[in-house]
Amino acid sequence: MSSFTVVNHPISRIDATTKVTGRAEFADDLAFDRMLYGQVLRAKYPHAKILELDTRKAEEAPGVAAVITYADISGAQAIGPVRPDMPIFVSTRTMYLGDAIAMVVAETPEIANRALDLIRVEYEELPTIFDVEEAVSEGALQLHKDYPGNIVNHYPLRKGNVEEGFKASDVILERTYTTQLIEHAYIEPEAAVAVPGSVDGNVTIYGSIQNPFTARRHVAQVLGVSLNRVRIIQCAMGGSFGGKDDVVSAVCARAAVAALKTGRPVKVVYTREESLIESYKRHPYVMKYKVGATRDGRLLAMEIYILADAGPYSSMTPFVTWRSVVQATGPYEVPNVKTDVYGVYTNNTYTGAMRGFGSPQIIFAQESLMDELAKELGMDPLEFRLKNAFKQGSVTASGQVLDEHTVSLMNVIKKATEAIGYSEKQRAYAKNKTARGKVRGVGFAASYRGVSLGAEGVDAAGALVSVQPDGSVYLHSGLAENGQGLKTIFSQIAAEELGCRFEDIVFMDTDTSVIPDSGATVASRSTTMGGSAVRDAAKKVREVLFGVAAELLNAPHEEITAAGGKMYVNEDPARCVDFRDVARAAYGKGQLMAALGWYQAPKVSWDEKTGQGKAYFTYVYGCQVAEVEVDCDTGQVKVLKVVAAHDVGRAINPATVEGQIYGGVTMGMGYGILEEVELQDGVTKTRNFDEYLIPTSMDVPEIVPIIVENPDSYGPYGAKTIGEPTCELLAPAIANAVYNACGKRIRRLPLDLERVLLGYSLRAARGKRGSEQA
């Protein structure tokens, strides 16, 4: 059993009751006196010049308080995490169908909605570009004059010499893989309320906001005010998955501009259709892989060329594609690597952060490729991978030596494949070939993943622990709950470290006026980074309390321990005092019982020209195996069972780790066989969940989670991460299983019915998508 009292235990989530009883407060539940409602008018064409914008009629309509356009913005017209290129309202040119042109603010949502029809916009359609390969080809239309060739960014990586590697190879394989545009599909669409402050020019915003500090920065820029004039308070989140970042910053900024203009609270809530049209998505990738190996199955060289469709705005593309360049070879030792990843501007819906962040795409390619290469070599896919897999001390494509943590790749692969009986099933199913009816197959995929931001940027986080005179505790965190269970995890860490009762902790909603900017809740960094900050804060307070307890117990400070609401003498636990009494006494003595904790990530490095460096301070390893049934008559793939083994360092809460695995596997299945945002010449065709299909509870297979624990030297109690790795592996595992079942190799996601039956989608041929035919 665990040596911990609170940590490492499957404690129920602290927000579970309010959520299942419907009492959790979401942004749309909020109401303020004299509140107005905003409705957004969006572009009619994905790429067009705006010749004239006339809002007068809408402004005069009864019940309309104001119509907001670019002309109402006094600060920055555009925002962006890297480049400020996404306009809050477009002024002269639309770049994709989700561009906002104006927002009507009215007494009711219905009035605002009707008034949208009264706004007159005259457009002149411009030539468009929707295909990444076309966008980077010579003579292509240039979307941004400062970024020639429509290139958002380019990351090269060079290791060894690929020419020599290929020369020495016995087998060389070249393959192209493509992935689709994906919607986060959070159950709660975008929502925020901006309330003008009592001090002139100040504004407070409540909302479904993934990253309160990012939203604050963007709102302040747009209003042209200092950061301390904008206060953001996060509401309960109905899901985010990386999706409530840039788009929500824009929603908040529009609401704030409108609130300050009208002097009244303004609420903006999107419908599903609006959300699907405007919000950014996961990048579609076109990935060309060339791989060389010896006859006996040793990888010698990999050359990788990737185009990522960014849409018209840079958003997170430079960060997303950076993770891709680091991890593109997969968790294998490859002596010679040449990788080039490009972000590419188009007039498709813009793309940004989504759970996985540049890994689901490349893992689909590289893990499909590993199976294809094994087949070419006449080797077993498992044996082949184990031969090349990272071991303790292996060197990554970027030249990083993996020696500061336990490299458990082999272990997770073995655990996952053995649990499902992969080897026997794989051999048996490979023999069973029929042209009709139902056939079964198994397949797997493995990955390594850098934890937190790595060399992407500043990586630090804070937390505030404040013990009250009665021993109860406030916990504030700069990283925010996104629905993943952060409140519970952080409370567990605080309780473990303070030695108080878990129930005595109250986690406060993230409020930018209370806690230091801790960066964004992204990159599966909360437990490692924020958890370490909580631990740091709690430790500081505990030291104060130990001093008081030492006096009360008449024992030396160093001999005091705390657990489960008691402080006691190490050697003699019967000599103890209640945590609450210590707090009371400390308060009586005028001691400070609050502390700010801070954690800064260990140093990492990156050379932009060579793609070499210590990309991340630690890594996690995962393997997922899928067993499927393919209907040869319809192309339907049923996922029957999934085993998912993940090394998390330490499971702060095994139940929430399993929760992440169930959810991530389900999302991965949607990516693999169902989901695709269909754009036809830049126009969103899938506008609600009747056409954009995500798995239902009926589709979820049996999922067997396997938690592997190899405590890390950095994270709290050795904890690393689990959020994203769970969601990056299943699509290639399914593709490999489908091949095992019926001998069809499908190199484009999703493996929907048409693609499995015919090998390509007739349906998708409607839109111009060059990559589909390849």
Which residues of this chain interact with other proteins, rule CB under 8 A? 63, 108, 110-111, 436, 633-634, 636, 674, 678, 685-686, 690-691, 693, 695-696, 698-699, 752-754, 757-758, 761-763, 765-766
For residue 440, give the nearest of 449, 448, 452, 431 by alpha carbon. Answer: 431
Residues 6+ positions from 483 with CB-CB distance below 8 Å: 237, 238, 239, 240
For other proteins, the closer of residues 415 and 687 by Cβ is: 687
User: Nearer to other proteins by C-beta: 2 or 680?
Assistant: 680
Q: Least distance from C-beta 756 to other proteins, angstroms?
A: 11
Closer to other proteins by CB, 286 or 639: give it: 639
CA distance 497 to 481: 20
Q: Cβ 468 to other proteins, closest distance in Å?
A: 45
In the complex, the smallest distance separating the C-beta of residue 582 from other proteins, rounded to whole angstroms, is 53
> Cis bond leading into 750, ω under 30°?
yes
- Pick 191 or 301: Cβ nearer other proteins: 191
Give the rounded distance of the alpha carbon of 473 from its chain centre. Answer: 30
Provide the token pair at 178. Answer: 């493509």
Name the minimum Å distance from CB 730 to other proteins: 15
CB of 758 to other proteins, least distance (A): 7
Q: Which is nearer to other proteins, 20 or 698 (CB)?
A: 698
Smallest distance, Å, CB 677 to other proteins? 11
Nearest-angstrom CA–CA distance, 707 and 648: 7
Nearest to other proteins of 112, 533 (CB atom) = 112
- Give the nearer residue to other proteins in terms of CB position, either 511 or 754: 754
**Pick 71 or 758: Cβ nearer other proteins:** 758
Q: What is the smallest separation between the CB atom of 762 and other proteins, expressed in angstroms? A: 3
Q: Are the CB atoms for 459 and 600 separated by under 8 Å?
A: yes
- CB of 340 within 8 A of CB of 311? no
DSSP secondary structure letters along 138-182: TTPPPS-TTSGGGEEEEEEEEES-HHHHHHT-SEEEEEEEE---B
Angle at 320 between CA 316 and CA 324, to 5 degrees: 165
Distance CA 256, CA 209 (A): 14
CB of 688 to other proteins, least distance (A): 9
Using CA atoms, how far apart are residues 103 and 608, in angstroms rounded to an integer? 41
Query: Which residue's CB is nearer to other proteins, number 214 or number 761?
Result: 761
Q: Supply 294's token pair.
A: 């010896």
Please check whether residue 774 is in contact with residue 176, taking contact to mean a CB–CB distance below 8 angstroms: yes
CA diameter of the chain? 83
User: Among residues 28, 140, 143, which one has the least CA distance to residue 93?
Assistant: 143
Q: How far is the CB of 667 from other proteins (least distance, A)?
A: 14
Nearer to other proteins, 371 or 678 (CB): 678
Smallest separation, CB 69 to other proteins (Å) = 24
> Among 337, 332, 401, which Cα is nearest to 156's?
337
Report whether 281 contacts 131 (CB < 8 A): no
3-class DSSP assignment, residue 448: strand
Smallest separation, CB 766 to other proteins (Å): 6
- Residue number, 246 or 752, with CB nearest to other proteins: 752
Residues near 218 by Cβ (< 8 Å), separated by ≥ 6? Answer: 79, 249, 250, 252, 253
Strand partners, 395: 401
Smallest distance from other proteins to CB 167, Å: 44
597, 576 in Cβ contact below 8 A? no
Q: Which residue lies nearer to other proteins by CB, 414 or 763?
A: 763
